[in-house]
């Protein structure tokens, strides 16, 4: 449970810090970032997990979204893990959508991925224990959010771990990985040829089995280059209607898949989480 500090910066009265540690789940070194708001000086604060998308790591959201200003105001700790294990001994692929940078927030069962790619265990068990041990985090109040592949992770981990997260939201999530090329490639590689296990990591399948009373917030750019082939939010909307799952899907003309899109609406998402976690206005 030892952390190695890498960097630290003061920001809006709080602290953004980056840490390395040896991960048992991923069988090697992992890196993550934490924004600790100023309210944490007087006691534990709620935690929002931010899961990034393909090719990203902790730095994308922490450096490009501007979340620190609002998280400071609301008193939210935001934790950004990496998107996969990394290193010379970690399996990889020539494509950007598989391997290092593309863990898909599941535990791989197939070679050569299984020895390191246990991202579900890492995000839901190992990293929370580490954060609880080293930061003033109120682990009874957790939310989860993410972008693209990370939006897939936020939705599926929320359904797969009922009661863990009080709030959930996503930017341009992959909602039906069993039906789109990104997801089919990853699921086949990590879990094997199409099998029941695929549906265990598909938000559309999971919501039909076990809807919640949470209001899920999703923002989607209308000019997103991946909208029609890879994201397909209409499938999740239909599944939610069938299941009686509360969901708000907001479509924004002109916005694409980039962090300019995320920066435009990150405040709305943090306030969505803060209301469910009992802080802020």
Catalytic residues: 148, 224, 257
Which sign does the torsion angle of CA 101, 150, 269, 36 carry? negative
68 Cβ contact list (under 8 Å, min separation 6): 11, 12, 14, 16, 35, 62
User: What is the number of helices (H) and of strands (E) in the chain?
Assistant: 10, 9
Task: Report d(CA 142, CA 163) in Å as an integer.
Answer: 10
Best CA proximity match to 65, nearest among 215, 271, 273, 261: 261
Tell me how far apart the 2 most distant CA atoms of the chain are, in Å: 51
- What is the residue whose two structure tokens read 């985090």? 137
What secondary structure letter does DSSP report for 158? H
Tokens 């009922």, residue located: 162
**Which residues on neighbouring strands pair with residue 7, listed in sequence order?**
18
Cβ-contact 83, 149 below 8 angstroms? yes
CA distances 84 to 26, 110, 194, 233, 258, Å, are 8, 16, 22, 24, 20
Beta partners for 77?
A: 47
């Amino acid at each position: 449970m030892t952390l190695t500090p890498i960097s630290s910066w003061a920001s809006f009265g709080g602290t953004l810090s980056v840490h390395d540690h040896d991960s048992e789940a991923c069988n090697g070194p992992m890196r993550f970032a934490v924004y600790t708001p100023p309210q944490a000086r007087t006691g534990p604060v709620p935690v929002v997990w931010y899961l990034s998308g393909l090719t990203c790591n902790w730095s994308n959201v922490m450096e490009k979204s501007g979340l620190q200003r609002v998280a400071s105001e609301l008193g939210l700790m935001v934790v950004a893990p990496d998107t996969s294990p990394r290193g010379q001994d970690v399996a990889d692929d020539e494509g950007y959508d598989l391997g290092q940078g593309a863990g898909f927030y599941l535990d791989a069962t197939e070679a050569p991925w299984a020895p390191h790619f246990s991202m579900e265990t890492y995000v839901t068990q190992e990293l929370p224990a580490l954060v609880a041990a080293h930061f003033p985090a109120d682990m009874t109040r957790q939310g989860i959010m993410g972008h693209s592949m990370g939006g897939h992770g936020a939705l599926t981990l929320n359904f797969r771990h009922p009661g863990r997260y009080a709030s959930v939201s996503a930017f341009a999530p992959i909602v039906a990985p069993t039906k789109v090329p990104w997801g089919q490639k990853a699921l086949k590689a990590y879990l094997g040829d199409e099998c029941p296990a695929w549906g265990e990591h598909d938000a559309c399948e999971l919501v039909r089995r076990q809807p919640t009373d949470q209001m899920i917030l999703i923002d989607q750019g209308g000019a997103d280059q991946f909208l029609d082939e890879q994201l397909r939010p209409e499938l999740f909307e239909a599944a939610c209607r069938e299941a009686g799952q509360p969901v708000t899907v907001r479509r924004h003309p002109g916005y694409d898949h980039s962090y300019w899109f995320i920066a435009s609406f990150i405040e709305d998402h943090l306030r969505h989480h803060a209301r469910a976690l009992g802080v802020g206005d």
